[in-house]
Amino acid sequence: MPISLSPNAEVVLKRRYLKKDEEGNLIEGPEDLFRRVARSVASADAVFDPRADLKRTEEEFYRLMADLIFMPNSPTLMNAGRRLGQLSACFVLPVEDSIEGIFETLKHTAMIHKSGGGTGFSFSRVRPANDTVLSTHGISSGPISFMTVFDIATETIKQGGTRRGANMGILRVDHPDIEDFIHVKTNLKRLNNFNISVAITGEFMEALAADIEYDLVNPRTKGPVRSVRAREIFEKIVDAAWESGEPGVIFLDHINRSNPTPHLGQIEATNPCGEQPLLPYESCNLGSINLSKMVSGGSIDWSKLRSSVRTGIHFLDNVIEVNKYPLKRIEEMSRKTRKIGLGVMGFADMLIKLGIPYNSEEAVEMAERVMAFISAEARQKSIELGRERGNFPAYPGSMFDNPKTPRMRNATTTTIAPTGTISIIAGCSSGVEPLFAVAYVRHVLDGDTLPEIHPLFLEMVSKSGFSYKDLAMKIAQTGSVQHLDQVPDALKRIFVTSHDIEPEWHIRIQAAFQKYTDNAVSKTVNFPNDATLEDIEKVYQMAYASGCKGVTIYRYGTRDRQVLNIGKGRQPEPKITPRTRPVRTYGITERIRTGCGKLYVTINSDQEGICEVFAQMGKTGGCASSQIEATGRLISLALRSGVKVESIIKQLSGIRCPAPIWESGKQILSCPDAISHVIRNYTQVSVPETRMMIGACPECGGAIAHDGGCIVCHSCGFSRCS
């Protein structure tokens, strides 16, 4: 039976997941992909039982994916049954206070990124800037300088053309460099391959509550450097998050209170989106149940949910066996604790099918009920696997190691991860987030745009007896239906979007899921643009008090540098006629190397200044040549229409293609980026360079969503964190 996929799901699979030959032609379809993954992961059964019915297990795994009930994390979909074979998404590496240790970790980071994984680090052990370096009698450059090295390395490493490098950088709130760290990402040019979070301690929160000072401690000497008022640091965190969306915060005491293996060490870091706290060299394999598929006849099918969870746990434990780990130390540590993380997606869709508003007490109760059920079934299946296959090797000394606790196969079983691309494949809402939009503008191949309407909204409006067609673009302008008189109140009540919901409800839903989740919950608390500092402070305090292990906030528009595809339309602007090109111009031609070859850029001026730009790529022809010519024509048209050179450079800078290259000490990301470098050199204008435009998707130009602690495009599946 063919798999029923949405148009967006087909685009994402073709672009990022399906196997291609050396010329880029697809050589498998969605059914082939799910069959490949199911067969590879099912083969692990034979490790424990040579007589195991592998065909039966393969069919169970295949049906779970083909029916869009369960999806593993992206590396498993991409790599299972293929040569690379690296199936984990999450890794944490140690950063020690020595040049040797730091660059050893950098090497390991490169190997992980090359294999398609993301990495998390705590830089808290690195001595502060200007501290003594005993071996050379010099001074330390501090943790932020080394984060910059990791960032540049990540920018340089390709991940097979399918996954971008992603990092989490964490610094303890009592590190002497904490103030510089808090503000590092308010500069949009810095650390664009990092999410950053402040590791908050219980001691800090107590000092904050008492409005007293606390000590900043040098990790090298373990002694206090100076004392600072907790309120002052907290306000700086809030200010920076209000301005740029970062840093996030993680609560170390909450995380280590549920650390299943404290005898192996304290947890200091998480993966890039914050939902997976890990010890150094641990990895975790994640997967998500599509809750929208668990609703039948207006109620939850608990039997179906039970069988789906149990099969999902079986699947994820098998992944640990067939995985090809990027480092031997990671394999050893991963097999020692056997951490897995089964989570959910489609929660908002499930609520809609049940007629429950996301921002309601009923939704909070449903979140607790569903996750408590999933957690209980996941642990029970892990106990059964423990009896059949043996419990995880680090079990002695773990939190389970007492006579009253049944043995466990896995140190952890549940995680709520961001599901940006896999939820697009499954055709459901992301993770435990509310809807991104009831409708949004989708970019199609011919450059046209179409409104994409939520399928449940279409289904329900047809039952309500009114036409949605005239409303489609109106809804897409804001993503919301709350201010449209034509939409019935009953639909407005359940079709609420992330920006329709008060921030407190985001935290209440996160806390409800966290209550029954072994690891952590990846969630973004969305704020309107006019949110105050006090609003953000309230959410941080609420997240800590309710037991969340971390929190990420995003104030609408704070890191967006292009017009979003949801938002109020602009007023019409007067038409501009470009000035006529003169008969004679004068200028230069400059050669610059790009990842596609040598590009020759000609810049000409007339009496009024720069007026045209042409570019040609060596001996190339076809599509590449025509697009370069089109870029030059549009630049020339803009110049003769009075557009500032600075504005043109800003638009071209930072556009990336799959083949960036270093040229004269600068990274050239694409042909348009190369043209911007030549124009900048010719005109000598001062324009800050940018590496990625956030707001519109850098790959398709569609609208992006801030959810699950990450940035995701619902049109093409682009994800900054995957």
Give the DSSP letter of residue 487. Answer: S
Rounded to whole angstroms, the Cα distance separating 202 from 485 reads: 48
Cβ 711 vs Cβ 719: under 8 Å: yes
Write out the E strands in 556-630.
586-594, 597-606, 609-617
Does 271 qualify as catalytic in the annotation?
yes
Whole-number Å distance between alpha carbons of 279 and 262: 10
What is the token pair recorded at 421? 């691309």
CA distance 378 to 294: 16
Q: Please choose, from the candidates 274, 400, 297, the residue with its C-alpha nearest in 3D space to the C-alpha of residue 355.
A: 297
Mention every residue, 6+ apart, whose C-beta is less than 8 A from residue 483.
none
Contact 511, 525 (CB under 8 A): no
Of the candidates 279, 350, 348, 284, the one whose C-alpha atom is nearest the C-alpha of residue 316 is 284
**CA pair distance 337, 279, nearest whole angstrom:** 10
With H, G, I as helix, E, B as strand and everything else as coil, classify residue 300.
strand
Active-site entry in 271, 323, 359, 410: 271
Which helix or strand (DSSP H or E) is residue 43 part of?
Answer: none
d(CA 325, CA 79): 12
Active-site annotation holds for 362: no
Q: Is the peptide bond before 247 cis (omega within 30 degrees of 0)?
A: yes
- Known catalytic residue at 275: yes
Give 186: exposed, middle or buried? Use CB within 10 Å, 0-12, 13-18, 19+. Answer: middle
Residue with tokens 């939520």: 454
CA distance 636 to 647: 13
* Marked catalytic residue, from 90, 273, 428, 671: 273
Report the greatest alpha carbon distance in the chain.
Answer: 92
Asked if residue 34 lies in contact with residue 22, where contact means CB atoms within 8 angstroms, the answer is: no
Q: Residues 58, 246, 275, 612: which is the catalytic one?
A: 275
What is residue 38's three-state secondary structure?
Answer: helix
Question: Alpha helices, DSSP H only, in 267-399?
Answer: 302-322, 328-337, 347-354, 361-389
Catalytic residues: 271, 273, 275
